[in-house]
Structure 1
Amino acid sequence: SKKILEEEATKLAEKAKTLEKLSASKDAPSLLLEASYFMDIEFPSASKKKLDELRGYVTATIEGHHFYKSCGGRVSATLEMAERLLEKGECASEVKEMFRRQVEPEFPEEGSIVDVKHVKLSGSVFNLGKATIESLDADRLTYSRTIKCDGIYDGLNVPKEAGDKAVSETILGEDYIITKYLSKDGVLKGAYVNLNTPVEIYPNAIRYVDLEVDVCLLPDGSKKILEVNKLEGALNRGLISKQLFEKTLKKAKRILEDIEIIS
């Protein structure tokens, strides 16, 4: 409103006067005022759902609100329109169905090409490359990537060759991804079970937060847990809670004991 803009302009004018006075009494270079700090915060799937719940207590909220907002573009705009209709008292079931029909074409389907965004606890985001959606339904997602360069698969200690195929599968809502590494001829080289936050499927990307720990499974049947020290480091640095640390470690041990999970 006009009043808010006027108040903001007054505050800025006062700050300008303060800076002018401070600059007159100090030698350059010198700190005049502490600046504001900004940061990006990653809200994984479970956090978004909790925020949806809290928002729903105070205003009309479509399930998945924070996820759809983070999609941006047409999805976010359609969400805003739908929630305005709910605020006006329109039939909730009709509005939600309209919203679903409008945004559904924006999301990937079988055969779509998407990026794989692997988010580290430090905040770094690694794009693992382009992946093809092999299958997708209400319960399960399978996608594949073609390996582009030679090397060694960490933990497996077997050659990584250009042309290998990485086939990943996850149950939607679960906190792990199973990735099998196959040669050009379809021979299994080994598999990783990556512990992570539940996968989110955006219009152009698959995204999750890596919880550092992996379970490594070799073709000969041997298996081991990798990088527990990184999970411990994240706990010590305050990046994760003790509860999440214990939950992740417990899940890794259960996967290690249950070879059927990758059959």
Structure 2
Amino acid sequence: MIGETTFDRILIRGGGALLALIWIAPLAYAVWAAFHPPAFEARFELMAPLTLDNFASAWSQAPFARYFLNTIVLVTMILSAQLVLCTLAAFAFARLEFPGKTFLFTLILMQLLVMPDILLVENYKTMRALGLVDTIIAIGLPYFASGFAIFLLRQTFMTIPKELDEAARVEGCSLLGLLWRVYVPLGKPAMLAFGLVSVSHHWNNFLWPLIITNSVETRPLTVGLSIFATTDSGTEWAVINAATLMTSAPLLLGFLLFQRQFVQSFMRAGIK
């Protein structure tokens, strides 16, 4: 008879394997369809011929080089602004005393409960009033601050002993020097964790870039990929899967390379 502990272990591992299979099945199909001729996209044969024609066709049907450049500029711009602004805000909430501190932090936590899609209309009106419609900066500007980043970094900074503050002040360190020399180095695991989440989210973001952009010069990868949905000759699933793999490959490779640091960063981020 299987004991309770053994049964629980089997149940947990079996459930994890099932979820992994559900997640990997679409990716496996995309890889198969992308590297095989259209005649084999829905038919598995062990000796089916391999081809790169689908990738060449996808690359020729859209300016992917421009889309990749726009996306890299976009995620770099957003992450840089978030790290600067959110680090300053998190440090203030963690170590400084000022009127309305609790109230303001409560507002930030409440912002986490608001779905971003609710703000699409107001954000568009703001970008139009600023004359920024159909620009890369218009895609990123509403995301320059992040309530989640402020919360995550604040929790991390609060775990740092205050004795380090006193030691740095004795050495003549200014407030910004204290942040740069003490808190930023010790908060790097949390910053790395948030950075991976931020890049992944804005690399895959579709709805807001679709609304705010109109031209090839400003479209990111996700919006550019949408042109493969339909063509004059019908839906070309092999080409669509090749384009999808080109779009998602950098994120997949990044996660595979940094998955251990990603998990460890959240474990050390100060959230219990």
Report the TM range for the smaller structure's normalisation.
under 0.3
**Structure showing the higher strand proportion among its residues:** 1
Q: Which has the higher contact order (CA 8 A, sep 6+)?
A: 2
TM-score, with normalisation over the residues of structure 1?
A: 0.21
Higher-helix-fraction structure: 2
